[in-house]
Structure 1
Amino acid sequence: MTETVQLDIPVLLPHVPGDDDGCVDRLTAILSKSTGVSDVHVVAADGDGPSQLCLHFDSSATSVARIRSLARASGAEITNQFAHIFWDVTGVTHTRKARSVSERLRQIDGVAEAEVSPGFVRVEFDRRATSEEDIRIALAHHGVGVKPGTRGTPTADAPANASRAGGLVDTPSTAPDAATGRDAHEGDDGHDHGSGEHVHGGPFGERSEVIFAITSSVLWVGGFVAELAGWLDDSVLTAVFIVSGFFGGYFTLREAIDGIRNKRFEIDFLMLVAAAGAAILGKWEEGALLLALFSLGHALEGYAMGRARQAIEALADLAPPTAVVRRNDTESEVPVEQLVVGDTVVVKPNERIAADGFVVSGTSSVNQAPLTGESIPVDKSPVDDVAVAANAPTEVSGESKLFAGTINGSGQIDLYVTRLAKDSSLSKLATMVREAETQASPTQQFTNKFERIFVPAVLVLVVVVMVAGPALGSSLSDSFYRAMSVLVAASPCALAIATPSAVLAAVARAGQVGVLVKGGGPLENLGTLNAIAFDKTGTLTEGKPRLTDVVAADGIAEAELLAVAIAVENRSDHPLAAAIVRDGTARVRSRSIPTVSNVESITGRGVQAVSENQAVLIGNIKLFEENGGIDESVRAAANDLLGRGRTIMVVKHGDRFLGTLGLRDTPRPAAKKMIDDLRALGIERAIMISGDNQLVAESIAAEVGLTNAWGDLMPDDKVSAIERLRGEEGKVAMVGDGVNDAPAMANATVGIAMGAAGSDVALETADVALMGDELAKLPVIIGLSRKASRIIKQNLYMSLGMVAFLIPATLVGYVGIGPAVVFHEGSTLVVVANALRLLAYRRNESISASTSA
C-alpha cells in the first residue's frame, strides 16, 4: 500500500537558502533510491509552514520511522559536507572581472557553484574537497578581498542558515572573536590579511586602480604638453610615456592574464596587444594614451557601478545597529543580533524600528517607505491578544505589524519580536536584491556568447589586415599600425557593460521603492509584457468580504438560516466563512447556535457537516447540482444575487433548503487607476482569473476596467488559464499573493507577489515581490522595467554602432589609434551614464511619457 510522509526541508537542511538549492536535489536523489520509496518531490511552502519534501513509499517495504531516520541522517551528512558562502567583497568593480573570478572559482575542486557580481560573491562548495580558507586565498590571488568586520557575522553557535546580508557565510569559521569582535581571519593589527582591501593590488587598497589610472593620465597629459612646448628631449618624453603606460596597463595586464588562464581572450587582452603594437612601432605616445584612457574608463566604470551597489547596500543599513529591550522590567540597549523571538523592544518617537514584530502597547504612525515604498505613514495600534498573535504572527493585521528599518512617528510603542535580525523582511530583501545581481538577463547571456565569438574573430581580422596590407602595396609598419587601430576599434567594451549596468541600476532603484526584482531575466520580461492576469480576492479586491444579503427560503426564518450557517462556517478558515460568522452573528445575537460535527471542506464547491443528526451543505450552485439538485425558488434567488455581483452560499439542512447568503468583496480604491496606468504603459490586455462565480468576476472586472474575467476556476484551471494566455499573448505576468496562486505564478512569464513584506512564501515563490500592499507599485515597476529595456536597447545600439563605425574607419586609415581610443572609451562612459539614469527614475515618468506620446 502506497503512503506519503512530508518532512520539513529547513529541519533536514538548515543551511540551504531556498528550495531550489543544489543540496535539496542531492537529498532528493538519495531518498528516491531508498528501498520502498517510489517518489520524492518538493512541496512549496504555504502560509502555515515551511517547504517540505513529500515521499511516497510502500508501507509493506519500509516504514515512516525508517524514512525519517534516513532523511535526518542524509540531511545531516549533506549539511556537514556542503557549505554556502555569501560575501561582500572588494576588488570586483566591473562585470568582466566578475566573470573571470567566477570562472576561476568554478575550477577549484569541490566548488559546486560560484556566482560573482561587482561587490558580491556566492559560492557553494564541498567541505571534503576544499575549504572557506581555500576560497579566500583563491579570491585574494585574483585581487579580491572579503570585507572584514561586517556587522551581523554569525557566531559559532548561530544557526547554519544565518543571514547572508552583509557578507556572511553559513559556516562557523567566520565567527567573530568573542573578545575582540573581529573576524577570525583578521590579524592583530585589525586588518584582514587573508582577504582585506590591501590584497587588491597596490599600496592604496581598493583605490589603487583609480589612483593608477589618474597617475597614468596626468603623466600622459604632462608629457603631451611638454612635447608641444619643446621642454623635454625625445628620450625623456619616451620615458614619461612608458611610465604612463605602466600605470595605465598594470591592472589591465593582471586581468588579461586572468582571462588567458581561463582560456579566454578578453577585451583587456586586445587593449594590451594594441598598446604593445604601438610601442613596437615607436609610437609610445599613442600606446600610453590607449592604456591611460582604458584604465581611466575602467576606473570610472567601477565608480559608476559602485554607485548602484551603494544603493543596494543602503538597504541593509536601514535597520539600527542596537535596540532598547525590556527584560524582567529592566531596559537595556543591546545589538540587534542579540534580540530573540519574544523580546519586547521599546521604540521611541522618530526612531528606526529594529526588528520585525507587532505592537503590544502604544499607538503611533510608522513610515514604511524604506521597505515597502508606501508614501503615507501607516497608523499602528496594539494587537487584541498577544498570545494569539505570538502563536500566529503571519496572521497579524497590517495595523499592528512592524518591520525592521521602518521609522516610528510621534508615539512611543512596544514591539514584540517575531523574527531574528537575520530573518527580517529587510534582511531578506537586501540579500535577495544583492543575489539578483548575479542572475544574468537573456540579453546579457547573449552578449556574453557574442563576445566569446567576436573577440577571437577580431584577432583573426587583425592578422588578416597585417598580412593583406603588404600584399596590397602598404608598408609593413603602416599595415601593423592600421591593424592595431582596428584592434582598438573592434574591442566591445561598451557592449560588455551595456546590459549589466542597466540591470544593476534598475534592480537597485526597484529596491528603493519597495519592490524586489530577482535578477535581469524578470526585469527584461517585465519590460516586454503583453498581458497581465490578476487574482481577485486580496489582489484587486480588499480581501475582506461582507455579508450583504440574507434571502431565506419560503417558510424559513432568517435567524434559522443564519444560525446553521454560522455554526458550520465557524469551523472553517475560508475568508467567506469568516465574513458569514462576523456579520451573521451581529444579526442573530439572541439566537442560539446549534452544534455541528464532521465539518469537511469540498474544494471549489463549499463545505459539508452534520448538525442535529442531519447533513448540512453550504456552497455554490454546482455543489447542489452534484448532490441531488436544487430547489428552483432557491436557484432563482441565487441567480438574482449572482446577477448583482454577489458571491452566493446556498444553505441546506437535511432535506430542507434554508436559503441563500450573498457576499461581496469590494474592489480596492486604487485598482481602477492602476489598470488605467498599465494601459497607458502599453499593456492592453488585463484579465482576472478567479475561483469565484463568473458573474461575480465579471462584475468586479467591469468596475475596475479589466478587459476580461475568467471565473469558476479551480487551482488547476488557473494554471491552464495562464498557459492559454501565454499562447495567445506571448509573455504574461500573474499577480497574486504568492501562496494560493503559486502554481499559476510559476507558469507565468513573471510571477508577481503582492504584500510580500513579512511573507517568506511570497519572497521565495515570486519573480517580483511588491513588499507593500499597494497596487500603485505595479505600474511603477513595469514602467521602470520598460525604461530599463529601452536603455538596454539604446546601449546595445550605441555600443555596436560605434564598433560598426570605427572598424571601417580604421581599416581605410581615416582614424588612427588615438582617435579610436577616444571614441572607444567615450562610448563606454556614455553607456554607463545612460544606465545610471535609472537610479533617478520617478514613479510617473513612464506613464507621463506614454500619455504624452
Structure 2
Amino acid sequence: MKFRWLQGIAFSEPGSCITACVPIVNPRSLTEEQAMTMKSTSLEQPISIPPVSQRCTTILEDTLEGYAGIRDVHFSTEDGHLRITYDPRILSPERALHLVRQAGQKAGLRVAQCGVKGEQACALCAAQMGESVHNHFSRLMTASSTQTLFREGELIISLNGATAPGSNQAVVESLFPSESSPEISSRPTFLFSFSRRRLEILFTLITALATLAAYLGGLYGISPAFQNGLFLTAYLLGGVFGLIDGINALREEHKLDVNLLMIFAAVGAAIIGQPLEGAILLFLFSLSNTLQTYALERNRQAIKKLLDLRPPTATVRHGSRIMTLPVEKLVIGDIVLVKPGERFPVDGEIVRGNSEVNQANITGESVPVFKKSGDAVFASTVNGNGALEVRVTRLAQDTTLARIVQMVEQAQNSKARTQTALDAFEQIYAWFVLGGAVFLTLIPILLFNQPFYPTFYRAMTWLVVASPCALVISTPASILSAIANGARNGILFKGGIHLEKTADLKVIAFDKTGTLTTGIPVVQSIIPAEGVTEEELLRLVASAESRSEHPLGNAILEIARQRNLPLSTASEFRAIPGQGIEAYVEGRAIWVGNERLFHERGVPVPPELKQHLNTLKEKGQTVMLAFTPGKWLGIFGLADSIRPNAREIVQSLKKVGMQKVVMLTGDNEAVAHAIAAQAGVDEVHAGLLPQDKVAVLETLRHRYGQIAMVGDGVNDAPALAAADVGIAMGGAGSDVALETADVVLMADDLTNLPHAIFLARRSRQIIWQNLTFALAVIVLLVVSAFGLNLPLPLGVVGHEGSTVLVVLNGLRLLALKKV
C-alpha cells in the first residue's frame, strides 16, 4: 500500500522493528487523532510564517485569545512554534487544533512545509509523530515496551514483543491511513520562508543600484523610458515586502501598518514628479527594515548559539563495548564517557570519577564546581581534569540547556506592558498621521487655494517624518537584549512583563532556609563538661552518630572527620524520633539528644550546662547534649550556616536600589534574628506558616510597594506566587523552580540576583531613553518640515536613522557587564 505521508516502510525479521521514511509534511494538516496524543493542557503546532514583522503573530494572538477556554498564547517566530495553554474542561484537543487551523487561515499563512533542511521534517513534527506512534503501538499491541526515534528522515519504531510483520503493517496502516494523510506540497515557501531575509538584503541592494543608476542617468541624458524603468525597479523591489505586509494587515487585522504610510509617501512623490525622492525613501526604508531584522536576529541567535555548545556525539559504554553515538540516540540510563576538557553531551549523574566542572553557560558561576559520584552535570558544560562516567538522566531534547533556550524564546515573544501599550497607541497614532496627510492636502487646496505641488509635497513629508517606526521598535529591542543577557549569565526571565516588574521592585523578601542559608546544619559550638576534653567529647559522640542519618548527627560526624579523629565502632544503635539517639561505644552507653530525651529519662541537666544551653539558644543555635550513665560529656550548638556571600549580596541589592531587604521564615525568633544579623537584612518575620508568608507579603506591598520573593521554588511556592515577582534559585537542578517562578537563578546561590535587578532597571532606563529620543525626533522633524521646509529625503534619513539608532541602543544591553 502506498502512503502519501510515509515514503516507505521496512520490516525487519521477525517484525521487531519498523522503519518509516517521513518526508516534509504540512503541519497544519495534523490529524485529529494525532492531536489527541498531545498534552492535555498544551497544544504545540509548528507553523512557518513571514519572519519580518509581528503581523502574523498579532493575528494569531488576537484570534486565539478571543476564544473561550484559551488561557495563553505564545508564538516564536524563531522556531515557528505556536504554544497554546487551554482549559481541557472547556476545549477538547480536537477543538483546540481546529481553532489553530482557523487562526492560521485568517492570518493568510502560506504553509508549505515545516522544515527547511533538505527533505527532513522539523524536530517538533518528528517528536509529535513519534509520540503518536508510541501511544498507538503501546495501546494497540501487546508489546512489553515501545520506543520511537526520529533521525535523518526516518521514524524508527522498536518493539519488544512477539508480533508478526503483517500485524505491524496493519497497525501502521491504521495509524497513517492514505485517505486521511495530508498532501505533501513540493512547492517551496519562497517569499515566506527563511529566504526572505536574504531576499530583503538582495532587494535593498538592487533598489540602491537602480536608484543611483536612475539619478546618474538623468545627469548624463539617458532616455526617459529607461530612467523610468530603473525607478520602477527601485519602487517594486524596495516596496514589495512593505506593501504585502501593509495590505495584509489592513485587510485581515483592520490595522494601519507603518509600511503603508511609507508606500503612500513614495507613490505620492512619484505623482508630483519626484520619483527620485520616492526611490530614496523606499531604499532607506528597506535598508532600515533589513538592519532591524539583522539586529534582532543577532539578538535571538545569541541564545540559540547556546545549543551549539552541546557536542553532536557522545562516547557510550555498552557492557564491554565502547561506541560513538549521536546525542539524539542516547536513552536514559546509558553510560557516557567524558574525557578531561570535553563538554558533557547530555544531562546526567556522575557514577564514577570526580572533576572540576565549568558550568558557567548554564548557571553563570565563574568558578568551576567540584563534582563527584552522585552529583548532577548538565549538557554543554565543560569537564575539567578528571575522566568521568555519567549516567544519562534526560534525553537530548529535554536537557536543562534545551529547556532554557525554549523558555527564553517564549519569554522573548511575550509582550511587556510598555510594548502592549505602544501597540495600542500605534494604531491610533498611525490613523492620525494618515488623516493629517489628507487634511494637509485637501484643506489648503480647497479652502485657501494653495498650489497642489508644494501642498502635496508637504503632506508626503509629514507622512514620513511623523510615522512612529522608532517608537514602536524602541521597547522590543531592549526587552529582547535584556532577556538574552540574563540567559547568558544564568538568569532566566520568563517574559518581558516580569522583566519590567523586576525593574519596579522596591522590596525583596528572602526565605531563610536554603536561600540565605545553605540549609545544612554545621557545628557552631562545642562545650565539654568538667573533666572531659573537647577531643574526647567529639570522638565519642561522632562514633555514636556514625550510624545516624539525621542532619545534626551528620554535622557532628563531619567535623570529627575534618579533625582526623579516630572513631570507634558503635553497636546497639537506636534512633529515638524527636529526641536523639543512643548507642554503645567502647563498651559504654552514649546518649545524644535534646532536653526532652533526658527529661523523659529522669536525668536533670546540671546548672552549669543549663547556663551554656540557654546562651546557645539565645544565639539561635540548636542544642544537643551528650551523656554517658553517671557522667555528662558536654554540649553541641548547631545552626544552619549562612551562605558565605549572603551579606555581600544584601549590600549589593541595596546598592542597585532595593529600599528594604526582608527575611521570612518558619523558624523561631532566636534563630531568625541570628541569621538576619549575619546577613544584614532590615526586617525579620519569624514563626510563619506558608499562608502567613502570603499575608506578610501583602502587608509589605501596601507599606513599601512592589515586592519580590526569593526562594527555592518548592516549599515556598505560595509566597512566590503571591509576590509581584517570584524568584527561584537553583533552577539548573530543579524542574519545580523552572516552572513556578517568574525569574529563575540557574545557580544554587544568590550571586546573580543583584545583576538581575540591575539588568531589569538598566533595560527600563534604555526603554525610556528610546521612547524619549523617538518622540523628540518626530517632533523635531515635524517642526522642521513645516518651519524650515525640510526636503523629503532628509525627512526619510531622520526617520529611518532614528529607528536604527533605538535598535542599536537597545542592543547595548547584550554587552552589559555583571555588577
Partner amino acid for 1:317? D
Q: Say whether 1:526 aligns with 2:502.
A: yes
Q: Does 1:432 align with 2:407?
A: yes
**Is 1:240 paired with 2:240?**
no
Residues 336 and 175 from structure 1, CA distance in 2 versus in 1: closer, same or farther, beyond 3 angstroms? closer
1:320 match: 311
Corresponding residue of 2:272: 281
Write the distance in 2 (CA, Å) between the matches of 1:659 and 1:796.
68
Q: 1:538 aligns with which of 514, 521, 524?
A: 514
Q: Deviations over 1:134-164 (max 9, x none)?
A: 88888883589744345686457744799xx
Distance 1:473 1:155, change over 3 A: closer
Partner of 1:756: 731
Query: Which of 340, 361, 378 lines up with 1:370 in the alignment?
Result: 361
Match of 2:20 in 1: none
1:28 is aligned to none
Specify which of 123, 130, 141 is matched with residue 109 of structure 2: 141
3-state secondary structure, aligned to 1:691: coil
How far does the alpha carbon of each residue in 1:53-84 deviate from its partner, in whole angstroms, 9 at most, with x for none?
A: xxxxxxxxxxxxxxxxxxxxxx9968588862
Q: 2:486 aligns with which of 507, 510, 515?
A: 510
Deviation at 1:112, TM superposition (A): 8.1
Distance 1:553 1:124, change over 3 A: same
- Equivalent residue number for residue 464 of structure 1: 439
Distance 1:420 1:334, change over 3 A: same
Equivalent residue number for residue 495 of structure 1 = 471
My pick for the range that moved more, 454-463 or 305-314, is 454-463
The answer to which of 200-209 and 692-701 deviates more is 200-209
Contact 2:267 2:278 in 1 (8 A): yes
Aligned match of 1:709 in 665, 669, 684? Answer: 684
1:465-510 per-position Cα deviation (integer Å, ceiling 9, x unaligned): 2232222342233332222221212211111111111111111121
Instruction: Name the SS of the counterpart of 1:539 in structure 2.
Output: helix
The aligned residue for residue 250 of structure 1 is 240
- Please tell me whether the aligned partners of residues 543 and 569 of structure 2 are also in contact (alpha carbons under 8 angstroms): no
Cα pair distance change 1:205/1:465, threshold 3 Å: closer
2:203 match = 212
Distance 1:506 1:451, change over 3 A: same
Partner of 2:774: 799
CA shift, 1:179, in A, is: 7.4
Rounded Cα–Cα distance in structure 1 between residues aligned with 2:444 and 2:369: 73
1:462 maps to amino acid: A
Match of 1:729 among 698, 704, 727: 704
Q: Does 1:421 align with 2:411?
A: no
Whole-Å separation in 2 of the counterparts to 1:417 and 1:681 = 41
State the shift of 1:637 in Å.
5.0
Distance 1:688 1:104, change over 3 A: closer
CA contact (8 A) 1:403 1:425 kept: yes
Contact kept, 8 Å, 1:88 with 1:147, in 2: the verdict is no
**Which residue of 658, 661, 665 maps to 1:690?**
665
Q: Which residue of 2 aligns with 1:70?
A: none
* C-alpha displacement of 1:313: 0.7
Distance (whole Å) between structure 1 residues aligned to residue 133 and residue 470 of structure 2:
39
Amino acid at match of 2:82: V
How far does the alpha carbon of each residue in 1:443-477 deviate from its partner, in whole angstroms, 9 at most, with x for none? Answer: 11111111122112222222222232222342233
Quote the Cα distance in structure 2 between the aligned partners of 1:740 and 1:108: 35
Distance 1:588 1:256 in 2: 81
| Corresponding position: 1:825 with 2:800 | yes
State the Cα distance separating 1:330 from its structure 2 match.
0.8
TM-superposed CA distance for 1:256, in Å, is 0.6
Alignment of 1:190-229 (within 5 A): 198-201=189-192, 205-227=196-218, 229=219
Amino acid in the other structure paired with 2:257: E
Shift of 1:351: 1.5
Q: Deviations over 1:577-602 (max 9, x none)?
A: 754786799999676566467x5xxx
Q: Deviations over 1:278-301 (max 9, x none)?
A: 222222122222222111111110
Tell me, yes or no, if the aligned pair for 1:546 and 1:663 is still in contact at 8 Å. yes
Letter in 1 for 2:711: G
Instruction: Report deviation, 1:538.
Output: 2.2
For residues 73-97 of structure 1, what are the alpha-carbon distances to aligned partners after superposition, in whole Å with 9 as ceiling and x for unaligned? xx99685888622649574134456
CA–CA separation in structure 1 for the residues paired with 2:66 and 2:665: 49
The answer as to 2:617 corresponding to 1:642 is yes
User: Match of 2:206, as an amino acid?
Assistant: T
Q: Contact 1:527/1:785 (CA < 8 Å) preserved in 2?
A: yes
Q: Does residue 304 in structure 1 map to residue 295 in structure 2?
A: yes
Is the CA contact 1:369–1:514 (under 8 Å) kept in the aligned structure 2?
yes
Q: Which residue of 2 aligns with 1:665?
A: 640
Task: State how far apart, in whole Å, the 1-side matches of 2:58 and 2:713 are.
Answer: 33
Q: Output one character per residue of 1:530-563: Cα deviation in whole Å (capped at 9) or x when no partner.
A: 2221222222223221133477999x99999x98
Amino acid at match of 2:509: A
The count of residues paired between Structure 1 and Structure 2 equals: 714
Question: For residues 405-420 of structure 1, what are the structure 2 equivalents within 5 Å?
Answer: 405-420=380-395
Structure 2 matches for 1:349-360, cutoff 5 A?
349-360=340-351
Partners of 1:255 and 1:306 in 2: CA distance: 19
- Give the TM-score of the pair, scaled to structure 2: 0.76
Q: 1:551 to 1:253 in 2, by over 3 A?
A: same
Distance (Å, rounded) in 1 between the aligned partners of 2:709 and 2:132 = 34
Structure 2 match to 1:742? 717
Cα deviations across residues 206-243 of structure 1 (Å, max 9, x unaligned)? 4112211221122212323333x334344433332222
- Alignment gaps of 5+ in structure 2: 1-33, 85-92, 135-147, 158-174, 177-182, 584-590, 600-604
Q: Percent identity?
A: 35
User: 2:675 maps to which residue?
Assistant: 700
- Aligned ranges 1:256-275 → 2 under 5 Å: 256-260=246-250, 261-275=252-266
The CA distance in 1 between the partners of 2:480 and 2:792, in whole Å, is: 32
> Residue 785 of structure 2 is aligned with which of 810, 815, 828?
810
Q: Give the corresponding residue for 2:3.
A: none
CA distance in 2, matches of 1:473, 1:515: 63
Determine if the alignment matches structure 1 residue 84 to structure 2 residue 74.
no
Give the stretch that moved more between structures: 792-801 or 82-91. 82-91
Amino acid at match of 1:245: Y
What is the deviation of 1:199? 2.9
Alpha-carbon distance in structure 2 between the residues aligned to 1:814 and 1:633: 95
Choose the corresponding residue for 2:376, options 395, 401, 405.
401
Instruction: Give the distance between the partners of 2:650 and 2:71, measured in 1 at CA.
Output: 45
The amino acid that maps onto 2:51 is V
Pair member with larger Rg: 2
Contact between 1:84 and 1:122, CA under 8 Å: does it hold in 2?
no
- 1:495-531 per-residue CA deviation (whole Å, 9 max, x = no partner) reads 1111111111111121112221111112122223222
CA separation of 1:371 and 1:155: change in aligned 2, threshold 3 A: same
Question: In structure 2, do the counterparts of structure 1 residues 480 and 115 end up closer, same or farther at CA, with 3 Å as the change threshold?
Answer: farther
1:152/1:741 CA distance change after superposition, 3 Å: same
Q: Aligned in 2, Cα 1:784/1:193: closer, same or farther, shift over 3 Å?
A: farther
What root-mean-square deviation, in Å, do the aligned CA atoms of Structure 1 and Structure 2 show? 4.5
What SS class does the counterpart of residue 467 from structure 1 fall into?
helix
- The 2-side partners of 1:743 and 1:314 are apart by 35
Query: What displacement does 1:762 show?
Result: 0.6
Residue 249 of structure 1 and its aligned partner are, at CA, apart by: 0.6
Contact 1:563/1:594, CA 8 A, preserved across alignment: no
1:121 aligns to what?
80
* Cα distance in 2 between the residues matched to 1:110 and 1:178: 36
**CA separation of 1:730/1:107 partners in 2, compared to 1, >3 Å: closer, same or farther?**
closer
CA distance in 1, matches of 2:663, 2:187: 53
Following the alignment from structure 1 to structure 2, what is the Cα–Cα distance between the partners of residues 203 and 318? Answer: 23
CA contact (8 A) 1:90 1:147 kept: no
Number of the residue aligned with 2:461: 485
SS at 1:415's partner residue?
A: strand
